[in-house]
Each structure stands twice: as C-alpha cells, then as structure tokens.
Amino acid sequence: MSESLLDRPIEYLKGVGPQRGEVLRKEANVHTIGDLLHYYPFRYIDKTRFHTIREIHPEIGYVQLKGTFLRYEIVGEKRKKRLVAYFTDGTGTMELVWFQGIRWISELLRPATEFIVFGKPNIFGHKYSIAHPELQEADDRSAGDARFQPVYNSGEKLSAKGLDSRGILRLIRTALSEIMGKIPETLSAEIVRNYSLLPRESALQLIHFPASEDDMKKASFRIKFEEFFFIQLRLARLKVIRERTARGAVFEKVGDHFNTFFSSRLPFPLTGAQKRVMKEIRKDLASGKQMNRLLQGDVGSGKTVVALMTMLLAIDNGYQCAFMAPTEILASQHMDTLAGLLGDLPVRLALLTGSTKAAQRKHILKDLSEGTLHLLLGTHAVLEDKVSFRSLGLVVIDEQHKFGVAQRAKLWQKNPETVPHVLVMTATPIPRTLAMTLYGDLDVSIIDELPPGRKPVTTVHRFESQRLRVQGFLKEQIRSGRQVYVVYPLIEESAKVDLANLYEGYEAICRDFPAPEFRVSVVHGRMTPADKEMEMRRFVKRETQIMVATTVIEVGVNVPNASVMVIENAERFGLSQLHQLRGRVGRGADQSYCILISGPKLSEDAKVRIQTMCRTSDGFEIAETDLRLRGPGEILGTRQSGEAELRLGDLARDGKILRVAQEAALKVAADDPALNGAAHASIREQYARIFKGQPDWGRVS
Ligand code: ADP
Ligand code: MG
C-alpha cells in the first residue's frame, strides 16, 4: 500500500491553509501530514493520578489534587493584590494563589464543594503553594479530562498563528481522524509479533493520545524501535552484501618486510592488546573477504604501529596502501614517524596533501599508477579521483570519526576488482550506541591497554586568578627539561576574538618566560602549512620549550618529552576535546600534568566537564558523559545529511531499544539482504522511502 495520504502537503489538512502551512514548514519542519504525525510531544502531563498534599516534595513537578476550600482572602493593595485560597485534601493544607482574575475566581470558590486542582507547587518560606493552578469542580470532570496529556513544542511564530501546544494537538486530532485505518505498517508481521510491538497505526495514535503512561511507553517503544531499526538495517545490509559479494585481496604471505620489521626494527615489545588486535586483523586479511575494521584505542595506546604492521603485510603481498589523516600536520607527522620506524627497510612512501607542489604531485601520481610507490600518506587528497593506484590493497583512516558510510563508499571505486581492505582508527572512544550507529557495518577491535610505564596524567583545575602559581610550576618543569603546551580555544564563529586572545596570551607568555632561557612557538589553523610545519618542528626538536597553539594539535601529535598541557578557557572546550588534548602529554616516562584554567563563572555543564576531567582518564566514561551532556546530534555533526533521522529515539538513553532493533535488523539482513521476500514488502517500501537517492552497496556487486 502506498503512503500517499501521509505524503499529502500539510496545507490540505482541514484547519491549516497556506498561512499556517508556511509557518509549520518553516518553524516545525512539518511539510506533510506524515510529518505532523511525527511531530511528537516532548512531554506529557499526567492527569490520570491524584497526589496528596502530604506527599509533595521539591522535585515532584506537576501535581493533581482533589479537595475543598477552607476559606480565602484577598490581600495586598492595587498591583500587588492577590487572592489566597486555603485548600485541603485531608492530608494537609496549602495555599493557592491568583494574581489575576481575582473576582471571577473568588466567585467559583464555593465551600463544601469538591475541586480538582492542577499545577506546580513552589516553596515559599517553609510552605508549598501553587500560583494560578488549573481549577475544575470534581463533578464537572468528564472521562476525557483524566488523561495523559501531550505537550508539544511551539514558539512565538507558531503560537501567533494559533498553533500553541493545544493548537497543534487539535491539528493532529484532525489528521488522525482523517487517515485512521489507512496508515500502512512499515515492519514485518514477524517483527511486530516477536518484539510485541504495537502496530504502527496504534503507535501513532497513542503517542499523541495515550490514556495512560503505559500507552505512552508502548507507543514510544514502537516508534523508537522503528527509527533505530531502519538505520541498523541499512548498516546490516551493507555488511552482509559486502561480506557475500566483495572479494578482498588475500594477504596470505608474511614476507620480508613484515618479518624484518618485527624481528629487528620494532623498538618495543607489543602490548597484549596490540598482539590480539594484530591477530584479528591478520585473520581478516587471510580470509578472502574484504576487511572493514574499526580500531578503537585511547590516545597513546599505540595504534600507529599496528597500522604500520598491517601495511607491511599488504606490501609483502604485492599491494599498495593509503594512509589518511585529518590534517596536513598530522599526515606529515605520520610520515616522519613511519619513515623513522621503517629505517632502511625498502619501502617507498610519499606524502600527498593539498599543498604538495604540482611537479612533485605529478611524480607521485606516476609512481603510484606504476606501482613503484608502496605507501601514500596524506589528507583527503589521497582519495581524489585523479589519484589512481596500480593495486590498492589497504586503506588506513586515522582519527576521523566523521568518516561515515557515504565517504567509505568512495573507497570502493579505487580498486573495483578487489575492494581494498579498510582499517579505521579512532582515539575518540565512542559510546557503544554511537559506534553502532556510525560504524554498525564495521567489525571492531579494541586496544584497551596502554604501553607499560605510562603514569596517569595528573589533572587539576585552576582559576585565572591563580595564574602566577601556574607559571611558577611551568618554569620548574621546563628547567628540569620538560616541554609545555598552552592551548587556546579557536572556533570559527568567534575566530577574530579568539585569535586576538591567543596572540595576547602568546605575548604574555613571551614576557613572563623571557629568552634566552625560554623559547616559545606558536601554531594555529590560520597560519600557512609551511609556517605551521616549521614551528612544529622547532618544538619537536626541542628548540622551543613552550608551544602556544589552538586545537590543531588536538589529534595525533606526538612529543613524548612534553609533560604539561595547559588549557586556557577550559570551560569553552567540549569533553572529548579536552580528553584528546590531555592525550598529548603522558607519553614519556615522566609524570605529566594537565592544567585546566577557567574564568571564575562556570555553567553547570562546564563544571561537570571539568570535574569529569579531574576525576577520570577513562576514555569511555568521558565519552558517555559527553554524550549525555551534548546529545548525539552535536557529536555526529549537525543532522548527518542523508542519514535517517532520529526524532524520538535518543542515543544517550535508548541503548536497550537500539540493541533489540539491531538484533531484528541483523536477522532481516542475514535472511534476505535484498529485501525481496514477500514477508519484507512493507520493510522494503519504507526503506526505499527513507534512503531514497543514497549510495547503496547493493548495486556494487
Ligand atoms: P595512538 O594510539 O594515540 O595513535 P601512537 O601510535 O602514537 O598512539 O603511540 C603512542 C606512543 O607509544 C608512541 O610514541 C609509540 O611509539 C609508543 N608505543 C606504541 N606501542 C608501544 C609499546 N607496545 N610499548 C611501548 N611504547 C609503545
Ligand atoms: Mg594516532
């Protein structure tokens, strides 16, 4: 059955018309009747139960009471005049207060008549009172009033057109009554049965008009399940179809490159976690299937060497590799690190970024297509269409957790015969629910062990007023041979002010840490790559002891001798950013420090962020807190273009529903990846509707 009724433009609904239609589109993103039905309440008012005055406590929220009025009085003069009525339900007495409509209300308050009162108690002195409660005679109450009432997001512009919460509710009632009985199911009968879901139509009805909290919960479960299900189904299909159709190059040989490196170049024994991950990777690479693996490991856990050994396997088997980093600085640092680790091993590698000179680029591209270049490092530039490999066997993607499904699809075109293996590495620990949503189509390996000898970084919070003490400490550290980062925030929106701040800070540091004893570098994103590069190198070579920078040094930069990370305006950084920054120190054998400096006034969220940092260095705990504070939208990037949208589902809170929805999706994908079966017709239709026009691996085979 088609969904044409749900797709009808919102203007055509009775009671809408062009003007309301426009404000609904603009303000609420409601274009169709279906959109309106998906405009879910953001909370409910529970009028199904009664409270007693005795049980009221400060966090109770709204209450509904039943009782009688003892007496009332009108107190105060003129503008301060108010009506105070004393209300009792037998368990206690409380004051109900009105500042307006005093005469009209006072006439309603007949003694010995039972009333129902609804409102939010406030504490005044030591007593509770409710200002302007809703008031109704108990005898007047009809069954329809005792409900679980939805409350919708509105706003000035919607309200001006009569679309406050009640107005929206009225429209939804009209819409539902027009199309009831014609809303098609979108899941299979089997799933609805197995997971005891409400049919879609009932869910849409009850999410707006629940008779009880239980109704509301069932409806919300069904709707969230469905949202998660389709996202997971897409990922699961990609995975299954890939596994069944994509051949990966087989790296069965462990050759000279790998062996020589392992036996005589590797500067340290691998940690247990690194060994385990190498085994997982080697198993994939020998399987004949294409590897799609996410390697998660906290900052400093040693992912680079794992990537390098994987690349050596590819090279041993006659394949080329690409290694992608998010910024030029990182790419070139990786270049140095890898070249250093490889030493005189006969591996030819090159760096390709946006600023590679034309002649050099031409040279690199030629070597690549002829196959004489083994390993290409770079930024996104390595995936441009003009870059063609002779036999690309492996792509390593470092530190880009926004490298989503669509971008990964591009890799397929690089070697159509055998699809390159993909290893995505990230040090940003991702909460499980997010990982399932972003990377649900990947297998996951985790390095959960830091190399031996690392001491946890001591983290403290200092106010700006304590700067002098911080300076003293930094001097001590530098005099004992250490290096220091000082990081300033720089965000696009306030770039000018931020940059000015950074330079002010830089100048102050140059004053307070005078040459020749102290030398200071500065790096920020607005400098030319060449200048950045030069400053970075000076710091790496210990020609400077203090590196003043923006978050360009956030990811990947590795200077083991740096032992102090000072973060200015720490209150302005997000948690995962703070964690990343802290990960830049604590890499050597010395005790390291992270000093979070903030202004005197902190928002509640900022306090939580700073406290979390001072308390723990567990990346996963930090990531979970981050998810709770910011919500998934912020973390995924503003509404991932083209990906399915979560309207009701919440990755921070609905992990359980996500997991059952994933289970259902995996089963469908395994049984019928093409969604051809008659039992999956309704799923197929909805799937096509949601993911219209998006890349689909289904066709790649
Ligand atoms: P990340 O996982 O953050 O990318 P790196 O790969 O940059 O971490 O490794 C951090 C540091 O730890 C590097 O200096 C690296 O040489 C070192 N390292 C990696 N593995 C080990 C190990 N098994 N033992 C000792 N040091 C190691
Ligand atoms: Mg790294």
- Sheet of 562-567, strand order: 458-463, 593-598, 562-567, 483-487, 546-549, 520-523
Nearest to 654 by CA among 637, 625, 634, 632: 632
| Cα 325 to averaged position of ligand 1 atoms, centre (Å) | 17
Q: Is the pLDDT of residue 697 over 50?
A: no
CA distance 594 to 635: 24
Q: What is the mean pLDDT of residues 187-191?
A: 97
Which H helix or E strand runs over 503? helix 495-512
| Cα 302 to averaged position of ligand 1 atoms, centre (Å) | 3
- CB of 387 closer than 6 A to ligand 1? no
Q: Which is higher by pLDDT, 120 or 498? A: 120
Q: Residues, the chain, total?
A: 701
Residues 330 and 556 sit within 8 Å (Cβ to Cβ): yes
Q: Is the pLDDT of residue 604 over 50?
A: yes
Return the beta strands (E) in 505-569 as ranges: 520-523, 546-549, 562-567
- CB of 587 closer than 6 A to ligand 1? yes
CA distance 234 to 80: 62
What pLDDT is stored for residue 412 in this prediction?
Answer: 67
- Ligand 2 ion: residues within 5 Å (CB): 556
CA distance 186 to 682: 5
- CB of 487 closer than 6 A to ligand 1? no
CA distance 279 to 310: 10
Ligand nearest to the CA of 297: 1
Identify whether 267 is preceded by a cis peptide bond (ω within 30 of 0).
no
Q: Give residue-wise pLDDT tens across range 447-492.
A: 988 888 888 899 999 999 999 999 999 999 999 999 999 999 877 6
Q: Is the pLDDT of residue 405 over 70?
A: no
Q: Is the pLDDT of residue 14 over 70?
A: yes
DSSP bridge partners of 521: 547
Q: What is the mean pLDDT of residues 284-310?
A: 90
Q: Which is higher by pLDDT, 236 or 381? A: 236
The proportion of the chain whose per-residue pLDDT surpasses 90, expressed as a percent, equals 55
Question: What separation in angstroms does the CA of 637 have from each of 478, 491, 500?
Answer: 39, 15, 27
Cβ neighbors of 516 (< 8 A, separation 6 or more) are none
- Site to probe by mutation for ligand 1, drawn from 261, 262, 268, 335 as the one with most ligand atoms within 8 Å of Cβ, is 268
Which H helix or E strand runs over 210? none
| Cα 492 to averaged position of ligand 2 atoms, centre (Å) | 25
Residues 262 and 220 sit within 8 Å (Cβ to Cβ): no
- CB of 429 closer than 6 A to ligand 1? no
Radius of gyration of the chain (CA): 31
The string of DSSP codes covering 246-275 is -BB-------HHHHHIIIII--SPPPHHHH
- The Cβ of residue 549 has, within 10 Å, a number of other Cβ atoms equal to 27
What pLDDT is stored for residue 65 in this prediction?
Answer: 95
- The Cβ of residue 180 has, within 10 Å, a number of other Cβ atoms equal to 11
Q: What is the mean pLDDT of residues 425-441?
A: 76
- The Cβ of residue 234 has, within 10 Å, a number of other Cβ atoms equal to 23
Structure tokens, 673: 């990846």
Compute φ and ψ for 477, nearest 5 degrees: -60, -45
Q: Is the pLDDT of residue 12 over 60?
A: yes
Compute φ and ψ for 46, nearest 5 degrees: -90, 105
CA distance 43 to 149: 8
Confidence of residue 4 (pLDDT cuts 50, 70, 90): confident
CA distance 328 to 351: 9
Q: Can you tell me which atom of ligand 1 is nearest the CA of 270?
A: 23
CA distance 633 to 639: 6
Q: Is the pLDDT of residue 418 over 80?
A: no
Q: Give residue-wise pLDDT tens across range 642-683.
A: 445 788 888 878 989 999 999 999 999 999 999 999 999 999
Mean pLDDT score across all residues of the chain: 87
- CB of 275 closer than 6 A to ligand 1? no
Residues 571 and 603 sit within 8 Å (Cβ to Cβ): yes
Rounded to 5°, angle at Cα 668 from 664 and 671: 135
The proportion of the chain whose per-residue pLDDT surpasses 70, expressed as a percent, equals 92
pTM of the model: 0.70
Hunting for tokens 């990037």 — which residue is that? 637
